Amino acid sequence: MSQLASQQQVVKKASTYRISYILSQVALYTALILGAFIFILPLLWMLSSSVKPGYQVYAVPPEWIPDYFVWDGYIQPWSQFPMGTFYKNTIILVVLNTLGTLLSSSIVAFAFARMRFRGRDLLFVVVLSTLMLPPQVTLIPTYWFFARLGWVNTLTPLWVTAFFGAPFNIFLLRQYFMTIPLEMDEAARMDGCSWFDIYWRIMIPLSAPALGVVAVFSVTHWWNEFMGPLIYLNSQENFPLSLGLALLNSRNFNNVQATFAMTSIALIPMVVIFFIAQKLYIQGLVISGVKG
Amino acid sequence: MLNLASLSLIGTGDLVMAQNTTALSKKPRRRLSQRQIEELVAYLFISPWVIGFLIFTVGAMLFSLGLSFFDTDLLSRTRFVGPGNYIALFQDPLFIKSLWVTSYYSLAVVPLGTIIALLIALMLNQKIVFQGTFRVIYYLPALVTGAAVAVLWTWVLNPDIGLLNGALMRLGIPRASLPRWFLSETWAVPSIILMSLWGTGANMLLYLAGLQSIPTQLYDAAKIDGANSFRLFWHVTLPMLSPTIFFNVVLNIIASYQVFTQAYLLTNGGPNNATLTMVMYLFRKAFQQFYFGYASAIAWILFAIILAFTLLVIRSSDAWVYYEGSRR
């Protein structure tokens, strides 16, 4: 009798456990889906508004499905604004900055990770502490310096500093280099490799994931960078895409579709890069943050 | 002479060894010079950073500090004012306002962003279907930074035809009581906060990576000891994740005090300076009104605030950040 009762109790316990499990799953998925909707909605709205006829764009409350498609927003800005030039300038900034920071940060990180020299640890602390320095502190002198060189309203001041190494990238690459076994270097040294050989022919090929992370971060940063171009550039033919979009938005109130369309197009490369490099993103975060 | 030079190069730690080598043979001395070559090459390798650091950090900082004691447009007007800029700043109602605006923004965005990102990461870390898809959706907005996000949000938050007010109307909020978002002094900063929170996916990815690196044995052991899911979270997940949270919070504080692009594009500091952030004010003073000395003083106060907050968080970290093993 008592055995039966306890058995019933166990069954009852199991079923309440099951119910609470199902409830928690329902709550989890509801929250996830609701949250996902909130996050994706502005982007979907942007896409739909880029092809909606004018009266629907201004409809209150918003209408989602276009009555008919208007592609004008994707065509008209190209003749109204130097969109091609905006893209060209952005690509120049992205390529030079990414190349610059990859070359300079990696060789500096290599020395910090693999070589012995006096003051190394202290200097590395200095590298890290410059992470805390807001760029606004050095902005005005840097501006003055580049103005003296006659570089205002050129792209040069926006990429030249990339070739002096970026503290965060140095830190990230150093962390990665440290995980590669030291025996590699020692063996290479035995075989008469120079330090540069070890850096260029051993470390660089072995560090593709970390270099990829730095590249991806740099590309997304410079694709979107706004304040630097805003300060240094003043004529449209030097504008990158970020300034171009702001210009489009401020000058084009009667054609909202164009703003939405051009913003949508501008996002495509970033989305593509993210899908290709998703693993790299997460790996980069692990290298820099979780193990840091 | 040569020995003396090498002695001073290797430092006192190797003193005894160096004396021995000079007394004995040539072979160990070659090892010594190898060491010196390594050192020289290393200095050569770090020279890009050293040069950049000396010019664009140390040089620029000294220059900026100096500038903050002058009244100058960097062209014709240059007048030494001593601490005048700093004194003027704290009597400048606009600067005091920018301090409040920036602190308000930071105090809202850092904790809210951390909590939202952590919640999403915890949900995504469960055994769920379509995990990859959810992760991409939550991360997508973080890719849309800078100008594009601000342009988009000028329309999402448009009080009349915007997406958000449209949704609020659907929820039954009468049109007259809808927030005017960036057109209203009260709602202007919350507008920028909302916009920034939308991009919290980067934090989420970081936490997700942190969660996935927690060893499962810890959970198994705790379950055997009879821990429920809340206790698992409180006694396993949170301590193990605390270094990641710490790192991220520090970076977020530093970044949040530098907020500019959103305020510039969404409201240009308005309405009635309701979104005049510190960097926005610095930008106005320096590049629109050419008070470079005054602007440099703003930059230094910004730096001091960031430094103070960062040190505060680092100091407090002993109390709440758990490092596995005896590291640090």
Domain stops at, among A51, A70, A89? A70
The rounded distance, in Å, linking the Cα atoms of B199 and B142 is 4
Same domain, A86 and A164: yes
Same domain, A78 and A132: yes
Same domain, A185 and A249: yes
B6-15 CB contacts, 8 Å cutoff, 24+ apart: B6/B32, B6/B36, B9/B36, B9/B39, B10/B35, B11/A118
Give me the residues paired with residue B70 across strands.
B80
Q: Please, what is the angle between helix B2-10 and helix B27-52, to 10°?
A: 60
Token representation of residue A167: 């503290």
Whether residue B234 is predicted with pLDDT greater than 70 in this model: the reply is yes
Tell me the C-alpha to C-alpha distance, in Å, between residue A47 and each of A65, A83, A152, A245, A265: 11, 19, 36, 16, 10
Residue type, B158: N
CB contact under 8 A, A57 and B160: no
Residue type, A233: L
Same domain, A259 and A155: yes
Could you say which residues from 79 to 98 on chain B have a Cβ atom under 8 Å away from some Cβ of chain A?
A: none
Q: Which of B123, B140, B166 lies at the smallest CB-CB distance from A31?
A: B123
Same domain, A66 and A88: no
Question: By CA distance, what is A28's nearest residue in B?
Answer: B123
Quote the distance between the C-alpha of residue B53 and its chain's center.
20
Tell me the C-alpha to C-alpha distance, in Å, between residue A2 and each of A6, A14, B2, B148, B249: 6, 18, 95, 70, 56
State what percent of residues in chain B have pLDDT above 90.
40
Same domain, A238 and A268: yes
The rounded distance, in Å, linking the Cα atoms of B295 and B300 is 9
* CB of B294 less than 8 A from some CB of A: no
Same domain, A22 and A90: no
Q: Which of these, A42, A38, A43, A49, lies nearest to A260 by C-alpha position? A: A49
| Residue B118 pLDDT level (bands cut at 50, 70, 90) | very high
Tell me the C-alpha to C-alpha distance, in Å, between residue B251 and each of A137, B19, B105, B134, B306: 17, 48, 15, 25, 10
Mean pLDDT of B213-222: 86
Strand B70-72, strand B78-80: pairing: antiparallel
* Superfamily of B90-320 according to CATH: MetI-like (1.10.3720.10)
Query: Average model confidence (pLDDT) for chain B?
Result: 84
CB atoms within 10 A of CB A32: 20
pLDDT in tens, B261-274: 888 988 888 788 99
Whether residue B16 is predicted with pLDDT greater than 60 in this model: the reply is no
Same domain, A28 and A78: no
Taking contacts as CB-CB distances below 8 angstroms, the residues of chain B near A290 are 206, 209-210, 213, 243-244
pLDDT attached to residue B19? 44
Same domain, A100 and A203: yes
In this structure, what CATH number is given to the domain that contains residue A252? 1.10.3720.10
Higher pLDDT: B279 or A45? It is B279
The total of structural domains in chain A comes to 2
The rounded distance, in Å, linking the Cα atoms of B72 and B75 is 7
pLDDT attached to residue B145? 67
The rounded distance, in Å, linking the Cα atoms of A160 and A158 is 6
Give me the residues paired with residue B80 across strands.
B70
CB A93 within 8 A of CB A240: yes
* CB neighbour list of residue B326: distance below 8 Å, 6 or more residues apart: none
Q: Where are the domains of chain B?
A: 2-67, 90-320
pLDDT attached to residue B109? 96
pLDDT attached to residue B302? 95
Q: Determine the structural domain holding residue A49 and report its residue range.
A: 2-70
pLDDT tens sequence for chain A (292 residues): 556 666 666 666 667 778 888 888 898 999 999 999 989 988 998 899 889 888 887 777 777 888 888 888 898 889 888 999 999 999 999 999 999 999 999 999 999 999 999 999 999 999 998 988 899 999 999 999 999 999 999 999 999 999 999 999 999 899 889 888 888 888 888 888 899 999 999 999 988 888 988 998 899 899 989 999 999 999 999 999 999 988 888 876 667 888 889 989 998 888 888 888 877 766 666 666 554 4
Rounded to a whole number of angstroms, the distance from the CA of A235 to the nearest CA of chain B is 16
Residue A61, preceding bond cis, omega within 30 degrees? yes
Rounded to a whole number of angstroms, the distance from the CA of B186 to the nearest CA of chain A is 23
What is the number of CB-based contacts under 8 A between chain A and chain B?
254
Same domain, A183 and A124: yes
Residue B141: half-sphere exposure toward Cβ, Cα within 13 Å: 29
Same domain, A50 and A191: no
Tell me the C-alpha to C-alpha distance, in Å, between residue B208 and each of B101, B238, B248: 31, 13, 12
The rounded distance, in Å, linking the Cα atoms of B109 and A41 is 21
Same domain, A21 and A130: no
pLDDT attached to residue B25? 46
pLDDT in tens, A227-285: 999 999 999 999 999 999 888 888 766 678 888 899 899 988 888 888 888 777 666 66
At residue B270, the 3 state secondary structure works out as coil
Find the length of chain B. 328
